[in-house]
Amino acid sequence: MLQSKLLTKISKTFPEGEESKNAKWLIRGGFIAKSSSGVYSILPLGLRVLRNITEIVREEMNALGSEELAMPALVEKKYWEKTGRWGVDVIYKTGNEENKKDEAHDFEFGLGWTHEEVMTAIANNFIQSYRDLPKSAYQFQTKFRKEVRAQGGLLRGREFLMKDLYSFHLDEKDLESFYLKIWKAYNNVYKRVGLKTIVAEAGGGDFTKQYTHEFQVLNTAGEDLVYYCSKCKFAQNKEVFKPENHKDCKEEILNAKAIEVGNIFRLGTRYSEAFNLKVKLESGEESRVVMGSYGIGITRIIGTLVEEYSDERGIIWPKSVAPFKAHFINLRKNKDKEFKKFFALYEKLNKNSNEILFDDRADKSAGEKFAESDILGIPLRIVCGEKTGIKLEIKERSSSKFKLVSYKEIEKYLAV
């Protein structure tokens, strides 16, 4: 991709009115744009990061044997009424003053803030026998929430992207075995995107009465407070914290602010009861389906990564999610032989992947190009200039060391 052709430009200053580190850098770098408080557009650069994250999540969910689907964002009132959750979140009404009495066109919807209801209704069409279990399905979907305090940039939006997965089981035992598997899959996801998480017990909110598990990244930008032990696996969210539960370990309990990047819930039969979802057993008796639901905050992960990986000069994306693999920067004034070689290498490496950004802009100084490259946070910077001679300069964003290497070596670096 040629940098001169990008839709976005890097801003010289931070946006006004944004306090969080992630919103400041992401807006300045042209990854996102604020639409209104808690509502952001994901711009092309941001979408590259988002797609890398969703692909990792997709791979891990598919590896569990789960299937991807897409449910509607408009969820009619009748669905929420079955579980007593109508009005918990954002309501959307069709119709207006003129056709107020026109019942045929008057619908009340909840803007999907979670999809247990819709998913259970779908499952009802396909799950009838114990032989149909277990099943699970997931989606990536924009969720809408009546957040009173939308804050922290992508950490708490009124509209955000979530991966939500729902599972259906014959009994608690089968749910438990799936629960442990998805727990592992979540660990893989966070590791692959570059986040270190601890798993804290928490309450179930509007979803379940049982303990749930939250995947938390210890970071001062977080809104949660987690009590945890550095020696054993004990960790609880402040809202359910009971020090007496940490009795088999002598180590002191610590606490820290944390960002919840995902959670897993055992739902039991609350939703299958509401939607009358049951299966026929071998004996001929009927049994309620046991369910679980599992969320990952995709856009919140982007915000968390910037909170975790940035310095005074900009973002430092982990390789696995970076918008581009490498940033090629041309400093040569003339389209001479060396420039042509450099451009040919870019074309060769970029051809199939489109994962190289080439700074071809003639109106920027070397200093400006470097400063902007640091803001974008692409893992590798490769420079061709009068000073680099017949070689190229390579530098990792995360390090201050640079060296001159041959074209062949660059190809090797980028092959991995």
Which value, to the nearest 10 degrees, does the dihedral of the CA atoms of residues 52, 58, 63, 66 take? 180
Are 42 and 27 in contact, with CB atoms under 8 Å apart?
Answer: no
- Rounded distance between C-alpha atoms, residue 36 and residue 87, angstroms: 23
Q: Smallest distance from the beta carbon of 159 to ligand ATP, in angstroms?
A: 8
Window contacting ligand ATP (CB under 6 A); options: 191-199, 260-268, 277-285, 377-385: 260-268
Q: Smallest distance from the beta carbon of 95 to ligand ATP, in angstroms?
A: 28
Q: Smallest distance from the beta carbon of 116 to ligand ATP, in angstroms?
A: 11
Q: Smallest distance from the beta carbon of 221 to ligand ATP, in angstroms?
A: 12
- Interface with ligand ATP (CB under 6 A), residue total 16
DSSP labels for 262-323? EEEEEEETHHHHHTT-EEE-TTS-EEEPEEEEEEEEHHHHHHHHHHHSEETTEE---TTT-S
Is the CB of 155 or the CB of 329 nearer to ligand ATP? 155
Residue 297 interacting with ligand ATP (CB under 6 A): yes
Is the CB of 300 or the CB of 327 nearer to ligand ATP? 300
Amino acid of residue 186: Y
Window contacting ligand ATP (CB under 6 A); options: 71-79, 182-190, 296-304, 321-329: 296-304
In which residue are the tokens 């499952």 written?
Answer: 123
Residue 300 interacting with ligand ATP (CB under 6 A): yes
Q: Smallest distance from the beta carbon of 84 to ligand ATP, in angstroms?
A: 17
Q: Smallest distance from the beta carbon of 238 to ligand ATP, in angstroms?
A: 11
- Rounded distance between C-alpha atoms, residue 321 and residue 394, angstroms: 20
Closest CA to 333 of 403, 268, 384, 264: 384
Residue 162 interacting with ligand ATP (CB under 6 A): yes
Window contacting ligand ATP (CB under 6 A); options: 16-24, 92-100, 178-186, 255-263: 255-263
Listed in sequence order, the residues at least 6 apart from 65 whose beta carbon sits closer than 8 Å to its beta carbon are: 136
Among 30, 134, 295, 314, binds ligand ATP (CB under 6 A): 295
Residue 260 interacting with ligand ATP (CB under 6 A): yes
- Rounded distance between C-alpha atoms, residue 102 and residue 382, angstroms: 64
C-alpha gyration radius of the chain: 25
Residue 65 interacting with ligand ATP (CB under 6 A): no
How far from 145 is each of 121, 148, 204, 404, CA to CA, in Å?
Answer: 22, 9, 17, 51
Listed in sequence order, the residues at least 6 apart from 376 whose beta carbon sits closer than 8 Å to its beta carbon are: 10, 29, 45, 314, 315, 323, 327, 357
Our measurement of the distance from residue 44's CA atom to the centroid of its chain's CA atoms, rounded to an integer in Å, reads 16
In which residue are the tokens 């979803």 written?
Answer: 207
Among 110, 153, 157, 379, binds ligand ATP (CB under 6 A): 157
The residue number whose beta carbon is nearest to ligand ATP equals 297
Phi, psi of 255 (to 5 degrees): -140, 150
- Rounded distance between C-alpha atoms, residue 156 and residue 149, angstroms: 8
Window contacting ligand ATP (CB under 6 A); options: 83-91, 133-141, 261-269, 352-360: 261-269
Helix (H, G, I), strand (E, B), or coil: what is residue 234?
coil
Residue 263 interacting with ligand ATP (CB under 6 A): yes
In which residue are the tokens 């608690």 written?
Answer: 172
CB atoms within 10 A of CB 378: 24
Q: Smallest distance from the beta carbon of 38 to ligand ATP, in angstroms?
A: 7
Is the CB of 224 or the CB of 372 nearer to ligand ATP? 224
Q: Smallest distance from the beta carbon of 330 to ligand ATP, in angstroms?
A: 38
Q: Smallest distance from the beta carbon of 264 to ligand ATP, in angstroms?
A: 9
Q: Smallest distance from the beta carbon of 201 to ligand ATP, in angstroms?
A: 13
Closest CA to 238 of 267, 264, 203: 203
Among 132, 147, 174, 360, binds ligand ATP (CB under 6 A): 147
For the record, the structure tokens of 274 come out as 């509401």
Among 205, 311, 366, 386, binds ligand ATP (CB under 6 A): 205
Is the CB of 143 or the CB of 325 nearer to ligand ATP? 143
Q: Which residues bind ligand ATP (CB under 6 A)?
A: 114, 145, 147, 156-157, 160, 162, 205, 260-263, 295, 297, 299-300
